[in-house]
Amino acid sequence: MIWVIAGTLDGRNLAVTVRETTGEPVFVSVVSQYGAQLAAHEGIEVHTGRLDKEAMKDIIASKQIRLLIDASHPYAAIVTATAREAAADMRIPFLRFERKEVPLPAYDKLHHVSNEVEAAQLAGELAKTLHKRVYLTTGSKTMHIFAKAEALLDVEVWTRVLPTAEVLTMMEDLGVSPKRIIAMQGPFSYDMNRVMFADTKADVVVMKNSGLVGGSDTKLQAAIDLGLHIILIDRPEPAKGAMTISSAQEFCDLWEDKNSGIH
């Protein structure tokens, strides 16, 4: 059995490709019930819930996993590190799937930061020199950082998240005003992003370079065309020495190569 950690849409699509290419049963792990619904496919067993290293090792043993493919989100560095360690401990091949970044244009209002803490600080500083309006497109996972950031206390912060009960409950617990929550499933078109940024009168947009599937290109271009400041949280450093692919076709090519090390 082959295990795919499917934290993204293209990760779930990859799981189907793995099943069809190899003919082997595939085990897919996702975090949410919504993700489980999207991952459902013939020949694919789906597990829902977060896993630590010991839980991963138990699954590898009980399911007789012989290849672990990590297709978690490009920014899920902890998941990637944990999965790689689990695979190494259990002496099975590890393959990292990571979508390509969107090329970045030259733009004098594009600011790079390393993490959400830096993003919140810079967003507050920039917004307070303008109209005090920030638009977050970074999701709910790290919303607690922005909700509690002192730099954003006097700033009007809009945030875009998935419209699930779990996420909205978390937003309520953080004290985020419903007035400034955009609960919608992405990715969003250029026109939709532009309307949202303009309608909220945002000065600053905070985003990640999640790739084309994540809609980074349309967010970026809409913000640039509106002349907004863009704070880009850079991706974590890729795992050194890990075999990495960026498309389903690359997996197919590796599978056909009997000397690739993934058999």
Residues 173-184 have pLDDT tens digits of 999 999 999 999
Residues 13-23 have pLDDT tens digits of 899 999 999 99
- 170: its two tokens: 């978390």
CATH number of the domain within which 124 lies: 3.40.50.620
- In terms of domains, do 116 and 13 share one? no
Any idea which of 56-70, 147-161, 236-250 has the lowest mean pLDDT? 236-250
Asked, for residue 171, whether it belongs to a domain, the answer is: yes
Instruction: State the pLDDT at residue 181.
Output: 97
CATH number of the domain within which 75 lies: 3.40.50.720
Q: If we measure between CA atoms, which residue out of 134, 153, 154, 149 comes closest to residue 223?
A: 134
- In terms of domains, do 40 and 130 share one? no
In degrees, to the nearest 5, what angle opens at C-alpha 238 toward C-alphas 57 and 88?
Answer: 25
Count of domains in the chain?
Answer: 2
Q: Looking at the predicted structure, is the pLDDT value of residue 161 above 70?
A: yes
pTM, rounded to two decimals? 0.85
- In terms of domains, do 170 and 95 share one? no
Sign of the CA dihedral 73, 77, 82, 84? positive
CA distance 15 to 13: 5
Q: Looking at the predicted structure, is the pLDDT value of residue 121 above 70?
A: yes
- In terms of domains, do 250 and 221 share one? no
Instruction: State the pLDDT at residue 10.
Output: 82
pLDDT confidence tier of residue 33, bands split at 50, 70 and 90: confident
- In terms of domains, do 211 and 128 share one? yes
- In terms of domains, do 141 and 32 share one? no
Sign of the CA dihedral 28, 34, 38, 40? positive
- Identify residue 73 by its one-letter amino acid code: H
CA distance 116 to 236: 12
Instruction: State the pLDDT at residue 213.
Output: 65
- In terms of domains, do 94 and 115 share one? no
Asked, for residue 261, whether it belongs to a domain, the answer is: no
Q: Could you tell me which residues are beta bridge partners of residue 156?
A: 133
Asked, for residue 263, whether it belongs to a domain, the answer is: no
Crossing angle between the packed helical segments 9-22 and 248-256, to the nearest 10 degrees = 30
In degrees, to the nearest 5, what angle opens at C-alpha 191 toward C-alphas 187 and 194?
Answer: 95
Instruction: State the pLDDT at residue 38.
Output: 64
Asked, for residue 105, whether it belongs to a domain, the answer is: no
Which residues constitute the domain of residue 210? 110-233
